[in-house]
Amino acid sequence: MGQNNSPSLDTLRAFETAPAMFMILSPNLYILTASDLFLEATGTRRDTIAGSYIFDAFPGNPDLEGADGVKNILSSLTKVIATGKQDAMPVQRYDVPDRSIPGAFIVRYWEPLHVPVFDDTGSLSYIIQSVKNVTGEIMSRAEAKQSRADREESLRELDLVNRRLSAAHDTLQVMNLSLESEVAKRTLELEQSERKYRNLIEHSPVAMQVFRGEDMTFEIVNDSMLRFLGKDRDIIGKTLFQGVPEIIGQPVVDVLYGVYRTGKPLELHGEKVILERNGISETGYYDVIYRALYDDGEVTGVLGIAIDVTPQILAQQAILESEERFRNMAEGSDIFISLTDEHGALEYLNASWADMTGWARDNLKQLSWDEFVHPDDRKAVTAKFLHGLENKQEFTNEFRLQNKENEYRWLRIKGIPRFDSTQSFNGFIFSGIDVTEEKQRLLEIEYINKALIFSNEQLSDANLKLLESEENLKTAFDAGGLGSCSLDLKTGRAEMSPTYRHLYGLPQQGDISWGMLLDSVEPEFLNEVNLVLENAINHGAPVDSTYAIRNLSTGERRWMRVVGKVYQGADGVNERIYAVVMDVTSQKEDEIRKNDFIAMVSHELKTPLTSISGYVQLLDLKTRQGSSYDGKPVLDKIQAQLKKMTTMINGFLSISRLESGKIQLARKKFDIADITSRLVEEYHTLVSTHSFVFNHCTATLVHADEDKIEHVINNLLSNAVKYSPSGTSIEINCTIKRDLVVLSVKDNGMGIHSHDVPRLFERYYRVQSLQTSTIAGFGIGLYLCAEIIHRHNGKIWVESELDQGSTFYFSLPIANGEQA
Ligand code: ADP
């Protein structure tokens, strides 16, 4: 480049101290100089870069993949040289070398503007590369949310700008002073210099303006300033209030006038200024510097410089607002909200926390909150907390915490890790609620559940027992042949056990009505049965009735006893009868037989008594006649009748003794064959109607009550005579079977029907037939025989065929196995 084209040293100096970031390049892209702020921002020194080729001084970051900064800048500069027009480049990533670490780079985003400056002859004198460091903005744009890092970054940047501005202020002061002295010293040079100065201001990428006179007439306004103000070049020559009427009343005006009046420089940081641009009122924030301009020691004007800091201020405001919003929200919330730093130390607790715990909110970092956690929960709570902290992971803790009343409350606290825009961990935000009531309810539900499970178990136990006892009852009912029935008095429907149905010959399946049951009742009992039922329904009287039925399926007449109870419903109305039925036929028949027996006994006793009475009257008559009457035959007859009565009475007495357990066995050893032989002999003598054959066996000893055994043999012999026709023979056998002696009496009489055989040895049992109806008897003989033999541990039985005859047997143990 030709020396002629270089800017003067003065000009360069003026540039160097300007409060903006720029670098001045020769037309062949060598660095002439750079502003102090530029050097500061790029971490370089003027002497190391001045005279270097731009890209030697600022090489591209070799580690940045796809870095196109060098290429873009070169193409922009080439364009400016070729066209002679300025070029505002979009944001460029162009990292600068890190002064502290050789070879390392610092991330930087720039907004470069290349402005060509021409000399009076119109040839390119130099190129101003003005840059705006937008690294913060670029970074913050994505993050504008609320991270602390952002805020700190913004604050740092603001601080930096402030520092730069104040540096600029000092520099400007120096510059002013030097300008003043220069003006005084070199008036001649001034005109030229002033042109250059004006040129410099006009081409400066920093918004600058010069006011002249008390009415603040715009003397110089550069393009940047015109853009700021949103005005055209025609404001030059107008006063401030004419050119920018919307400024009237804004604080910045007072400052401007103050500088003019006092001559003291002033700067405003982040000053709010409302300007009308293209008819739209816009609010912006600016760092503003005003410097008084002197002429012969008198203030004649003011230099104004403005830097737009609107994005930073807005970002800062947004952070503050967001923090404010968070605080307001947190403070007004019932939820417990807290923040910790990345080490887990408490930074913030909201009002709810303080209210519940009574904790003071100053010096939170020192608060040992874990000491208030219930000792049983503490270990788990801190473990989870530390795990979350270590892994920067979301977690939830549920624990008891002591409140200010020293009561434990159940809390559920959720911790969410906080990360800033660079993804570095900032700590946790916690939100929590009091779940004591919920917990209480859960505990109650758990308790109720347990109680329910317990009572269920008991219930199923009870059910099992009920089933068992029902089963037992059923078994007992079945064993006892008892039927059960439940009669619904409203519907007349009866539920009956199978036994009940069986006893009445009712169908085993299906509903049974009261009417069906009545069908089985023998007609002579119908009235009684109905009466019992009526009394039960109307008066709740207990049921106890014995009546005869005709089994509906077999037609057999049976006696039933029904015992029941009436149950009332909640309304006190008789609703249901539960009844048990049993077949009492045998008892009933026994009773009937007993009654018959009594009638018969009375009759039998009456007969000998009548004849005795007749004989006594005869004796009386004869005695009164005084004749010598021989009363012996009559007395013998009386004697015989009395004997008959005694025998009869003895028989009855034996029964009653037997039944009352008073009968005693007088055991002794005797030969059963002997007494049998004797008895057969007696019958042979006394009974002429039958013939008797006794088949002897060897003499056999038994250990028994001789009288009673004799009674048994006698009874069997007398029955054989009674129930077989005259002229037939009766055979008596005595046999030995191992250690038993068996005695039998065989007749050739009427025999016994097989269905009578099993009941023959029952008390009062007599075979009912035409043949037997003419034969006197009480039905107690065989019963007594059986009782006597059983008490001797023997057996008694019969083999018989109707019309063919019967053989009655009994066996007894042989005494000590000996045979006599
Ligand atoms: P009873 O006084 O009626 O004879 P028992 O008890 O001695 O009483 O006999 C019971 C019934 O057994 C008799 O009524 C009779 O019908 C029947 N019986 C007893 N012995 C004989 C027999 N040898 N042959 C046929 N039937 C007999």
Helix, strand, or coil (residue 507): coil
Q: How far is CA 370 from CA 280, 348, 397, in A?
A: 58, 16, 13
Q: Using H for helix, E for strand and C for coil, what is the string for 9-50? A: HHHHHHHHHCCCCEEEECCCCEEEEECHHHHHHHCCCHHHHC
Determine if ligand 1 sits within 6 Å of the CB of residue 430.
no
Q: What is the pLDDT of residue 512?
A: 83
- CA dist 651 and 777 (Å) reads 12
Beta carbon of 752 within 6 Å of any ligand 1 atom: yes
Task: Give the CA dihedral 459, 461, 462, 463, nearest 10 degrees.
Answer: 80
pLDDT of residue 820: 40
Read off the tokens for 526: 């119908």
Q: Please tell me what DSSP assigns to residue 245.
A: G
Calpha distance 457→460 (Å, rounded): 5
Q: What is the mean pLDDT of the chain?
A: 85
Amino acid at 104: A
Cα–Cα distance for residue pair 599/794, rounded to 1 Å: 33
Q: Supply the residue whose CA is at minimum distance from atom 23 of ligand 1.
A: 720
Residues in the chain: 820
Q: How far is CA 13 from CA 86, 114, 123, 197, in A?
A: 22, 19, 22, 11
Q: Could you give phi then psi for residue 269, rounded to 5 degrees?
A: -115, 125
200 lines ligand 1 (CB under 6 A): no
Q: Is the CB of 747 under 6 A from ligand 1?
A: yes
- The number of beta carbons lying within 10 Å of the beta carbon of residue 553 is 12
Residue 53, H or E segment = none
Round to whole Å and give the CA distance between 364 and 371. 14
pLDDT 10s digits, 221-241: 998 899 888 899 899 999 999
**Tens digits of per-residue pLDDT, 56-100?**
888 888 877 778 888 899 999 999 999 989 998 988 888 887 777
* Model confidence at 726: pLDDT above 90: yes
Which H or E run contains 610? Answer: helix 585-625
Q: Which pLDDT score is estimated for 419?
A: 87
DSSP label at residue 322 = H
Judged against a pLDDT cut of 70, whether residue 158 lies above it is answered with no
Predicted confidence at residue 7, as pLDDT, reads 58
Contact present, 359 and 367 (Cβ < 8 Å): yes
Centroid of ligand 1 to alpha carbon of 719 (angstroms):
6
Residue listed under structure tokens 């081409």: 203
Q: What is the pLDDT of residue 399?
A: 94
Is the per-residue pLDDT at 243 higher than 50?
yes
In 3D space, the residue among 473, 407, 410 whose CA is nearest the CA of residue 440 turns out to be: 410
The residue that leads in pLDDT, 105 or 692, is 692
Measured CA to CA, the distance from residue 102 to residue 105 in angstroms comes to 8
- d(C-alpha 340, C-alpha 413), whole Å: 13
Please name which of 473, 477, 514, 470 lies closest in space to residue 492, comparing C-alpha atoms.
Answer: 514
Indicate the pairing of strand 729-737 with strand 740-746: antiparallel
Ligand 1 pocket mutation pick from 719, 761, 766, 799 by most atoms within 8 angstroms of CB: 719
pLDDT at residue number 337: 92
Closest CA to 565 of 536, 581, 582, 542: 542
**Main-chain phi, psi angles of 575, to 5 degrees:** -110, -40
Please compute, for residue 346, the number of CA atoms within 13 A of its CA located in the half-sphere on the CB side.
20
Q: Compare 278 and 525 and report the one with higher pLDDT.
A: 525
Q: Given this model, what pLDDT does residue 154 score?
A: 47
Q: Cα(129) to centroid of ligand 1, in Å?
A: 153
Q: Whose CA is nearest to atom 14 of ligand 1?
A: 766
Supply the pLDDT for residue 818: 47
The Å distance, Cα 557 to ligand 1 centre, comes to 24
Residue 487 pLDDT more than 50?
Answer: yes
Strand order of the β-sheet with 207-212 is 217-221, 207-212, 298-308, 280-295, 266-277
Per-residue pLDDT, 39 = 87
654 in contact with ligand 1, CB cutoff 6 A: no
304-318, 573-587, 669-683: which is most confident:
669-683
pLDDT tens string 549-604: 999 999 999 999 999 999 988 888 888 899 999 999 988 888 887 887 787 778 77
Cβ of 716 below 6 Å from ligand 1: no
β-pairing verdict for 425-434 and 92-93: unpaired
Interval between CA 799 and ligand 1 midpoint (Å): 13
Ligand 1 pocket member 781 (CB < 6 A): yes
Q: Which amino acid makes up residue 160?
A: L
Pocket test for ligand 1, best of 767, 775, 803 (most atoms within 8 A of CB): 767
**Residue 523 identity (one-letter amino acid):** P
∠ Cα 578 579 584 (to 5°): 175
Tell me how far apart the terminal alpha carbons of the chain are, to the nearest angstrom: 172
Decide: 723 in ligand 1 pocket, CB within 6 A: yes
795-818 CB burial, b ≥16 within 10 A, e <16: ebebebeeeebbbbbbbbbbbeee
In the predicted structure, residue 180 carries a pLDDT above the cut 70:
no
Task: For residues 656-669, give the mean pLDDT.
Answer: 78
Residue with the two structure tokens 């029941």? 564
In DSSP notation, 752-816 reads --TTTGGGTTSTT----STTGGGS---S-HHHHHHHHHHHTT-EEEEEEETTTEEEEEEEEEBGG
User: Is residue 748 in contact with ligand 1, taking CB distance under 6 Å?
Assistant: no
78-88 pLDDT, tens digit each: 999 999 899 98
| Cβ–ligand 1 contact at 798 (below 6 Å) | no
760 lines ligand 1 (CB under 6 A): yes
Residue 389, amino acid? L
**CB of 274 closer than 8 Å to CB of 246:** yes
Angle between helices 187-203 and 9-17 (to 10 degrees): 50
- Of all protein residues, the one whose alpha carbon is nearest to atom 19 of ligand 1 is 719
Rounded distance between C-alpha atoms, residue 214 and residue 293, angstroms: 12
**171-180, 271-280, 442-451, 706-715: least confident range:** 171-180
Cα 162 to Cα 168, 289, 309, 338: the distances in Å are: 9, 11, 11, 34
Compute the distance from residue 805 Cα to the ligand 1 centre, in Å.
Answer: 12
CA–centroid distance, residue 766 to ligand 1 (Å):
6
Per-residue pLDDT tens digits for 615-649: 898 888 888 887 677 888 888 888 888 888 887 78
| Helix, strand or coil, per DSSP, at residue 723 | coil
DSSP helix/strand/coil, 545: strand
What's the pLDDT at 701? 93
Residue 651 has pLDDT above 80, yes or no: no
Given this model, what pLDDT does residue 169 score? 64
Tell me the per-residue pLDDT of 796-817, one tens digit each, with 9 for 90 and over: 999 999 999 999 999 999 987 4
Q: What is the mean pLDDT of residues 343-365?
A: 90
Closest CA to 266 of 256, 253, 274, 276: 256
Which positions ≥6 away from 702 have C-beta within 8 Å? 669, 670, 671, 672, 709, 741, 792, 812, 813, 814, 815
| Rounded Cα–Cα distance for residues 707 and 703 (Å) | 12
Predicted local distance difference test score (pLDDT) of residue 145? 43
State the pLDDT at residue 668.
Answer: 94
- Ligand 1 midpoint to CA 779 (Å): 7
Cα 392 to Cα 418: distance, rounded to the nearest angstrom: 8
